[in-house]
Structures are given as structure tokens and as C-alpha cells.
Amino acid sequence: VEPRRTESFSDGVFAVAITVLVFNLLPIAKAGITPDDLATAWPQYAGYVISFLTIGIMWLNHHTLLSQAVRVDRTCLVLNLFLLMGVVTVPFTTALVADTIKASNSSSARLAAVVYGLLMVVISIGFQAIWLYLSSHREALSAPEERPDGSPRPPQPTGSPLLVALRFGAGLGGYIVAVVVAALGSALAALVIYGVVAVYYLFEHLPGPTD
Amino acid sequence: VEPRRTESFSDGVFAVAITVLVFNLLPIAKAGITPDDLATAWPQYAGYVISFLTIGIMWLNHHTLLSQAVRVDRTCLVLNLFLLMGVVTVPFTTALVADTIKASNSSSARLAAVVYGLLMVVISIGFQAIWLYLSSHREALSAPEERPDGSPRPPQPTGSPLLVALRFGAGLGGYIVAVVVAALGSALAALVIYGVVAVYYLFEHLPGPTD
Amino acid sequence: VEPRRTESFSDGVFAVAITVLVFNLLPIAKAGITPDDLATAWPQYAGYVISFLTIGIMWLNHHTLLSQAVRVDRTCLVLNLFLLMGVVTVPFTTALVADTIKASNSSSARLAAVVYGLLMVVISIGFQAIWLYLSSHREALSAPEERPDGSPRPPQPTGSPLLVALRFGAGLGGYIVAVVVAALGSALAALVIYGVVAVYYLFEHLPGPTD
Amino acid sequence: VEPRRTESFSDGVFAVAITVLVFNLLPIAKAGITPDDLATAWPQYAGYVISFLTIGIMWLNHHTLLSQAVRVDRTCLVLNLFLLMGVVTVPFTTALVADTIKASNSSSARLAAVVYGLLMVVISIGFQAIWLYLSSHREALSAPEERPDGSPRPPQPTGSPLLVALRFGAGLGGYIVAVVVAALGSALAALVIYGVVAVYYLFEHLPGPTD
């Protein structure tokens, strides 16, 4: 299977999932519009910004991942499907956190932050799985010298795949720390860590032949 | 008509339909967030996972189907439109099942599971119709040696189209069994069958020249 | 401007608009699920099917329209934007009709059917405008011998553009008749006409070089 | 990174965001459907039309912007992500304005119009940032003579980038004026200015090599 339609479908899912985040904002407009009302809704705004950046950066890395392959086999498509299932769930966990974060030490807020973080952990593992699968099947998945649309075959990225996975896994580590913080301490502190990891991934990322 | 824009439109519809499933989860965040609340919502999660996998695998098979053709004629586009109408209805039948499955032997739950299964039967028939149409018009629809984007014409897949249709029809059989089970017995048992068929289609599928 | 990204954006808007129709079904799942409840919701189902087919066929014709052009200028993009605005409004007018059609002779039902029909008239005029604009600027918009992606320039379709516009306008006439019927008589009769026009467009359509 | 998938993702986000606007209309259908009810909802219609045109024109300019580049680097993708975050927020600010504009001099209405305008200012700055970034990195981002899909490298647009930025910034100026008007005077007057700026951008726009 050529990657073009996989990218097209994945792009569509990412685009819809990232836009669905605005549905967490729309009820604010119904709840009354005074300066106080708008200020009270800060958890919704914070969740919107953090999750938007997070999904957006996932898209960037997904882009880089798939650009490694000239062909996508069935296994890879199924892994991709599970990854997308995680991405589409982000607006739900964002709503959980935004609805509870104000009482930052309540058990509800901490539970929501744990669920948010566990989803991020699952998504990170999904990325790692696709990366390791593509790395270990590079020969099989890049047989022709050209991609079907005629663009030249991407060169091998530098660096050991395992090393790359380890560096990329730093974000995974950050999410695990945040989950523990949320479980034992403060949901707000966990939310800050999620924001920090999002900013981290703005700069650190999978190596791509086209960068 | 070249298949590119048909694929693009279909990919968009699949991507939105699969993401709309998360709207069945969003109300959970409003209903209170204690461990009990989140656990109580298990039918929503189960429906989300099963329907996500189901739509995702439909996309895979749709992909394989259309890659057989170098041209798509009006009849094929209209068949495709009816197929997409079925796919877009899945989030609705998923909500029906998830809202009723807890009282697994109630008439509401069984009715919902029957509706869910009937939609799956209709979608399976839609796939069969497109497959048989493309198979029987292969000559007419693959006249040029190259696809319009310059990629080479896909080779003929092996195996008799009818045999393929029969094997592919195993899932259709599974859905019919589940509808009967739901009508006469337990909605939960039917839901399990829907999950099993989804997993079955992860491995069994239409033959494609690009696999 | 090359048509590729215009098609991609338009495909996305059509795909989302057609999928938004399912949001008119989702509340049904909340309202109780007995055979009676599901049967009571027949206007929602009828509206869903008619509007789905209508938007789907609009997409088909939009596809045929744009495939005439190798370039899309600013005027055409703005006309296209107004057309898409009409298409995106269809789920709203569908909801209006579905919520009122049961009391088919009430003033609410007739008003809703009139609004639905007027939107269809506006969209039909939009199609005519783009068709006539493209027809009268064929030279300017097809200067290069090849489309940018290397596929050959589409041949001129046969038939006078004005004649084609007249034949294509039959649907427009149907919509106007339905609006009058809705205003003076029965909303249900108008709904039947909308369905008939949708089926009519399944067979009759703009001529395309690629058909 | 080649621009194709960036365009595909951005097109998806624009398409969904523009379609989400219809969710501000859907509740009207629930609120009763008499001529009075429909007429009472005029702020929703006005907001829908203005925001639809505004997002649509943003898409046009986004299209023109990205067509300048043969490659998109990480910085540009991140700028694009922030721009899209602003675009996706438009349905929210539209709902804010539509829910309050009737009492045009109330503090709620003026606050909503200020928030709407500030978002437009932020989006305009985002466009300027991408434009200036692409202009100042033209050499680095257009090294190959051809785009990856084989179409020829777009020629340099005429005119100084800074001059273009200034002319394009006229809309930014209009938004700032509208924010001041909304803050000190009438929300309705601000809404009129937003409409005027949208119409202005129908005619005035970034220069593109393909126009």
C-alpha cells in the first residue's frame, strides 16, 4: 500500500480531532459573557492550548514518521489505526481535566490528570511502536528507488534507531512523571508538566530525511 | 472520473465519521468524574473502541477496493455514496447500543444491538456490491496502462472475484448471526460478536495488488 | 491558482458537511429506545437520507465542474466559497424540516420546507454561476496544454454551455416548484419533491470530459 | 519537509473549522420555528456569514502563502500551527458575539466584540509572521528548481515583501479600529467593520506567483 492515502486519511483524522477541541469552548459562550465568566473559564483555555499544541506536534511527528517509508504494509496500517484512536480520544481527556482542574487537589482533578497522562503514555508507545517497526523493516518497505509519485527515495536518516527511540522517549518519561505527580500530588502541577512536554517536542523530534 | 478526488472525499468522510465517535464520550466528562463515574461509562468506551476499529478497517478495505480501479464511473460513485451513508450512520447506532447495553436483556438493548447489526449488514452488502461491480467491469475501468498520476497500472489480483466475495462475506455472516443473537437473546453477546468480527477483519481482507 | 488545493479544501468541506448530518440523529439515542421511539423519529431519518444524497450529488457535480478547469482564478474561488457556504448550511435547514414535518400542514412545517427549498435554489444558482463563469472563461483558464500534475488537458465537453445550463437547471425548476408547494400547500409534498430531485440528479448531470 | 502534507492538514483544519460554524445555527432549529423565531436569530446568521467569509478568505490567503515555498521547515510548521489554533477558535468567538450582539451597547456585547477582534488581530499577526519568515528565507526554502511533484518552481512575486506586508496589514488596522470601537462604543458597529474587512480581503490579498 502506498503511503499517500494513509497520509490523507491520517491528516483528516488529525485535522478533525484538533478542531473538535473547540467544542470544549463552545459551552462557555452559553454560560454568560461577563469579564468574570470569561476569566472563570481559564481551565478550558489552558486545556485547549495545551491539547492543540500536543495534537499539532503529534501530527508533525506522524508526518516525519511516515515520510520514512515508501510503502506501508498491513501491520503498519493497523498500528497507525490504534495510534489515531488515541489521538481522537484527546478532546475527551482534555474535557475531563478542564472540568475538574480548579479544585486542583481534589480526587476528581487528580484522577482526570492521571487519565490524561495515561492516554499520552499510550500514544507515545504507539509512536515508538511504529518507529521501531519501520526502522526494523526499512529494507522491505523501501524497495523501489522512487516513491510512486516520482519523488526520489528518501535517504537513510542518520543515527541508530534505538538511540533515536531513547531520545524520543524523553517525552514518554515526562508523561510518566506527570502521571505519578497527578496520582500523588497536584493535578495542576501535572498540567504544567504536560505543557512543558508539548513545548519540548516543539524543538526535539524524530529525525527526518527531509528536515 | 479519476479515483483521486473520490479517494480524497471518501477519506474525508471516513476521517470525520471516525472522529465523531468521540462525541459519544464527551458527555461523560459532564456527568461527574469519580472513579465510579468513569467505570460506569464502560459501554461508551467499549462502543467507542469497537466502532473505531470497525470504521478504521472499513477504511482499509475501501482503500484496497478503490486501488483496483484506474477509473471510477458514475455507477461506482453512486454505490460509494450509499456506502458512505452507511459509514456515517455508525456513530448513531453506536450511541444507541452504548446507551442501552447495561440492561443487556432488556428489549431496548436488544433492539439497539439489532439496529447496529443491520447497519453493518447493509454496509457489508455495499462493499460486496462495489467489489462485484469493479470485478465485472475491470476491463472498462482499467483501459489506460497507467493511472493518471503516472504510477503503473496495478496488476490483476489473484483469485476468482466470486471466491473472494465469499471469503470476504464471512464477516457479513458474522453480522447476521449477531443480529439473530441480539433479537432472540442477549445484546451483550451480540456486542462481543461485533468485536470479534472487527478483529477478524484486522487479519482477513480483500486481496489488493499493492499488498 | 491550480485547482488541486481548491479541490482538497472543497472535498474537506463537503465531507464534514455531509457528516454533520448525523448530529441530527444523535439526540434520538438520548430520547429513549423502544420500537415506538425509533419509529417516531422517521422525519429525522428521511431528512438524513435526502440531505445526504443531495450533498453527495452536489459533490459529484462539483467534482465534474472543477475538472473542466486547469486553473482557478480569484473570482472562481470566491464563487466557490459562496457555494460552499450554502452547502454547509444544509444540515441546519434539514434540522428545521425534520423537527416540524410531522404536522405537515402547520405553518412551521411549511416555513421550514420553504427555507430548505430556498437554500437549494441558492445553491443551484451558485452551481450555474460557476458553470457559466468557467464556460465563458475557458480559454483563459486552460492555457497550458497540461495540468500541473502532468495529466493531459481535459478535452472540451460537447454541447453548448447554455444548453447544458438549461438542462442542468431542471433541478432548479424542481426546487422552485417545491418551494411554491411548501408555501401554499403541504410541507410533506415538498419533501417528496426534494427527494425526487435528488434521485433525478443521480442520473442527470453536468457533462464532464472524464465521464 | 515538502509542503504537500502541510497543505493537506491545513486544508482539513480550515474545512472543519468553517463547517463547525453551522453548530451555532443548529440550536435555532430546536427553539421553535415560526417566522418570528427565525427572524429573531439574525445575529446567528450574520455571525455565520461574516465568519464563514472570514475563514474562507483566510484559507485563500493561506493557500497563496504556502504556494510561495517549495519547502517548509520546522519553524514554519510551528508558526502555521499557531495560526491554525487561531482559526479554529473563530467559531467560539463567533458564538460569543452572536449570543450578545442584540443588546449592542451592553458590556457583554462589547466584551464579546473585543474578544472577536483581538482574535482577528492575533490571526493577522500570524499571517504577517509567516509571510515575513517565508520572504526572508526565500533562498533557503526554494533551493531546488522544481517542487517535489514536478511542477516548476514558482517565480518570485513582484514587490517588496515589506511593502506587501504593509498593504496586507490594512486589514490588521481595520481589526484594531474595530476593537477600539467595540471597547468604547457599539458592538454592532464593530461587527459591521468586521464584515467590511472581510469584503476588503475578497479583493485585496497577498501577491501570488500563480494569480
D107 lies within 8 A of chain A by CB: yes
Shortest distance, CA C155 to any CA of chain D (angstroms): 21
C-alpha cell at A142: 523501501
Q: Residues 6 or more apart from A40 whose CB is under 8 A from it?
A: none
Sorting pLDDT into bands at 50, 70 and 90, what band is D1? low
Tens-place pLDDT, residues C61-115 = 888 888 777 777 888 888 999 999 999 999 999 988 888 887 767 888 888 889 9
Burial level of D106, CB count in 10 A (0-12/13-18/19+)? Answer: middle
| CA separation for the pair B4, C10 (Å, rounded) | 14
Which residues from chain D sit within 8 angstroms of residue A22, using beta carbons?
17, 20, 88-89, 91-92
> Is C76:C134 a contact under the CB 8 Å cutoff?
yes
Query: CA-CA distances (angstroms) from residue C9 to A62, A82, B8, D110?
Result: 21, 27, 10, 33
Q: Which residue of A has its CA nearest to C19?
A: A16
Please give the pLDDT value at position B75: 84
Sorting pLDDT into bands at 50, 70 and 90, what band is C121? very high
- HEC secondary structure over C106-124: CHHHHHHHHHHHHHHHHHH
Of D60 and D154, more confident? D60
Picking from B187-201, C193-207, D85-99, which range would have the lowest pLDDT averaged per residue? C193-207
- CB-nearest partner of B33 from A2, A17, A99: A99
Of B3 and B9, more confident? B9
Which residues from chain D sit within 8 angstroms of residue C112, using beta carbons?
33
The alpha carbon dihedral of C131, C137, C140, C143 has a sign of positive
Strand segments, DSSP code E, in D36-187 are none
Please give the pLDDT value at position A88: 93
B106 lies within 8 A of chain C by CB: no
D8 lies within 8 A of chain A by CB: yes
Shortest distance, CA C8 to any CA of chain D (angstroms): 7
Mutation for testing the A interface, residue in B10, B14, B18 having most A CBs under 10 Å: B18
State the average pLDDT over residues D81-86. Answer: 93
CB atoms within 10 A of CB B137: 15
Q: φ and ψ at A152, to 5 degrees? A: -65, 155
Shortest distance, CA C51 to any CA of chain B (angstroms): 10
Shortest distance, CA C166 to any CA of chain D (angstroms): 29
**Cell 465523531 belongs to residue:** B20
Sorting pLDDT into bands at 50, 70 and 90, what band is A36? confident
B17 lies within 8 A of chain A by CB: no
Shortest distance, CA C96 to any CA of chain D (angstroms): 5
State the average pLDDT over residues B172-201. Answer: 87
Residue A49 and residue D17: Cβ atoms within 8 Å? Answer: no
Q: Which chains touch B (3 or more CB pairs under 8 A)?
A: A, C, D
B178 lies within 8 A of chain A by CB: no
Please give the pLDDT value at position C211: 38
Picking from A121-135, A195-209, D98-112, which range would have the lowest pLDDT averaged per residue? A195-209
> Is C28:C41 a contact under the CB 8 Å cutoff?
yes
- CB-nearest partner of D5 from A7, A28, A29: A7
pLDDT greater than 50 at residue D144: no
Q: Which chains touch C (3 or more CB pairs under 8 A)?
A: A, B, D
C-alpha cell at A51: 491539547
Q: φ and ψ at A137, to 5 degrees? A: -115, 25
> Is D194:D120 a contact under the CB 8 Å cutoff?
yes
Shortest distance, CA B130 to any CA of chain D (angstroms): 27
C-alpha C141 chain-centroid distance: 24
Please give the pLDDT value at position D200: 81
> Is C113:C139 a contact under the CB 8 Å cutoff?
no
Of B119 and B1, more confident? B119
| CA separation for the pair D13, D85 (Å, rounded) | 9
pLDDT greater than 90 at residue B8: no
| CA separation for the pair A41, A33 (Å, rounded) | 11
State the average pLDDT over residues D122-130. Answer: 89
Sorting pLDDT into bands at 50, 70 and 90, what band is C146? very low
Q: Looking at residue A204, what DSSP letter applies? A: -
Sorting pLDDT into bands at 50, 70 and 90, what band is D108? confident
Query: CA-CA distances (angstroms) from residue C50 to A77, C18, C57, D77?
Result: 34, 11, 11, 41
A83 lies within 8 A of chain B by CB: no
State the average pLDDT over residues C117-141. Answer: 84
Please give the pLDDT value at position C62: 87
Tens-place pLDDT, residues B36-78 = 877 888 888 988 998 999 999 889 888 878 877 777 788 888 8
Residue type, A26: L
pLDDT greater than 80 at residue A3: no
State the average pLDDT over residues D102-131. Answer: 87
Q: Residues 6 or more apart from A105 whose CB is under 8 A from it?
A: A185, A186, A187
- CB-nearest partner of B211 from A1, A12, A85: A1
Please give the pLDDT value at position A26: 85
Which residues from chain B sit within 8 angstroms of residue A8, using beta carbons?
7-8, 11
State the average pLDDT over residues B156-169. Answer: 64
Please give the pLDDT value at position A108: 85
Q: Which residue of D has its CA nearest to B20?
A: D16
Strand segments, DSSP code E, in chain A are none
| CA separation for the pair C109, C124 (Å, rounded) | 23
Shortest distance, CA C107 to any CA of chain B (angstroms): 30
Query: CA-CA distances (angstroms) from residue C94 to A100, B41, C120, C178, C180?
Result: 36, 31, 11, 15, 18
Query: CA-CA distances (angstroms) from residue D12 to A10, A13, C6, C10?
Result: 11, 9, 12, 10
- Give the pTM: 0.86
Burial level of A152, CB count in 10 A (0-12/13-18/19+)? Answer: exposed
pLDDT greater than 80 at residue D111: yes
The count of C-alpha atoms lying within 13 angstroms of the C-alpha of D178, restricted to the half-sphere facing its C-beta, is: 28
Please give the pLDDT value at position A160: 65
| CA separation for the pair B95, B25 (Å, rounded) | 10
Q: Which residue of B has its CA nearest to D9?
A: B12
Residue D56 and residue C84: Cβ atoms within 8 Å? Answer: yes
Mutation for testing the D interface, residue in C1, C10, C97 having most D CBs under 10 Å: C1
Q: What percent of chain B has pLDDT over 90?
A: 22
pLDDT greater than 60 at residue D41: yes
CB atoms within 10 A of CB D31: 11
Please give the pLDDT value at position C109: 86
> Is C129:C76 a contact under the CB 8 Å cutoff?
no
State the average pLDDT over residues C156-179. Answer: 73
Please give the pLDDT value at position D135: 80
State the average pLDDT over residues B191-203. Answer: 84
C-alpha cell at C86: 450554502
Q: At what angle do helices D42-66 and D3-20 cross, to 10 degrees?
A: 170
Sorting pLDDT into bands at 50, 70 and 90, what band is D206? low
D12 lies within 8 A of chain B by CB: yes
A·D CB contacts under 8 A: 99
pLDDT greater than 60 at residue B135: yes
Q: Residues 6 or more apart from D195 whose CB is under 8 A from it?
A: D46, D50
B16 lies within 8 A of chain D by CB: yes
Tens-place pLDDT, residues C85-99 = 999 999 999 988 888
State the average pLDDT over residues B148-167. Answer: 58
Which residues from chain B sit within 8 angstroms of residue A11, using beta carbons?
15
Shortest distance, CA D16 to any CA of chain B (angstroms): 9
- CB-nearest partner of B96 from C16, C33, C59: C33
> Is D34:D104 a contact under the CB 8 Å cutoff?
no
Q: What percent of chain B has pLDDT over 70?
A: 79
Tens-place pLDDT, residues A136-157 = 877 655 544 444 455 554 545 5
Please give the pLDDT value at position B209: 44
Q: Which residue of C has its CA nearest to B95?
A: C29
Shortest distance, CA A167 to any CA of chain B (angstroms): 31
Please give the pLDDT value at position A39: 81
Tens-place pLDDT, residues C7-49 = 888 999 999 999 999 988 888 877 667 778 778 888 889 889 9
Mutation for testing the B interface, residue in A88, A93, A104, A110 having most B CBs under 10 Å: A88
**Cell 459562550 belongs to residue:** A29
Please give the pLDDT value at position A90: 93
Picking from A163-167, B22-26, C191-195, D50-54, which range would have the lowest pLDDT averaged per residue? A163-167
Tens-place pLDDT, residues A52-84 = 999 998 898 888 788 777 777 888 888 999 999
- CB-nearest partner of D15 from C12, C96, C111: C12
ipTM tops the 0.85 cut: no
